[in-house]
Amino acid sequence: MRESTAEEYLKVFKAIVESARQAISELSDTAGAQTKEERQAIVDGMKLVPRMVVRTAEGDSVPLNIGSGDLNWNELKKMLLKAPEPSEEERRKVLNSAKTAPYLMREAFMGTAKKLPHAPGGHPFTMKDEERVAACKRIETYRIEAHMDTSKAVAKVADELNRKHRTVSKKTLRRYYDEYIGVTKRLDPK
């Protein structure tokens, strides 16, 4: 392989390794690691993952230690220089892989995340408690003052909220309203 092609391939490998390291850093941030020790614990966990290895057809290999340590770029370059010159199509695919690596990692993380269990307590509310009560009071106002049917009042308030860059479905708003009515009746038994 020509020196210029080997240098291009090294840049691709470096970009992929940097993307993987950035993904590990983002993963530690998302996991809530705040101290250096917490971040190190995640990196130590990555050490348990089997190393990726670049192999040639002759059996030569160079490990890619993504979780920790520096990579032996000189060994990788020597290995690339021994390799045959790739065709233009192969070369283009390898160079494009550096551009798509972050997206492939993102897909892999998302696929893995979907297999993990959900947090206890269910889906978080779309609105804060005060906002929910205010919306329910507006529904109540439309029902009493405008003599609207409950479903029409819910739809009107949902439309108002959705115009304010808040996405709330009529079904969710109706559930909030029904909960509000239930609490109101328990507090004020007439």
pLDDT in tens, 170-181: 888 888 888 888
Number of other residues whose CB lies within 10 A of the CB of residue 143:
16
Q: Which residue type, as a one-letter code, is found at position 33?
A: A
**Predicted pLDDT at 29:** 73
**Predicted pLDDT at 44:** 72
**Predicted pLDDT at 176:** 87
What the block records as the tokens of 180 is 């509000």
What the block records as the tokens of 37 is 């020790």
Q: Return the domain boundaries, the chain.
A: 3-115, 129-187
Q: Which residue type, as a one-letter code, is found at position 176?
A: Y
Number of other residues whose CB lies within 10 A of the CB of residue 142:
20
d(CA 137, CA 130): 11
d(CA 79, CA 57): 11
d(CA 81, CA 10): 11
DSSP strand E in the chain: where?
Answer: 52-55, 61-64
Of 107, 106, 103, 78, the C-alpha closest to 9 is: 78
Question: 190 pLDDT band (50/70/90 cuts)?
Answer: low
What the block records as the tokens of 6 is 């080997």
84, HSE (Cβ side, Cα atoms, 13 Å): 6
Whether the pTM exceeds 0.85: the reply is: no
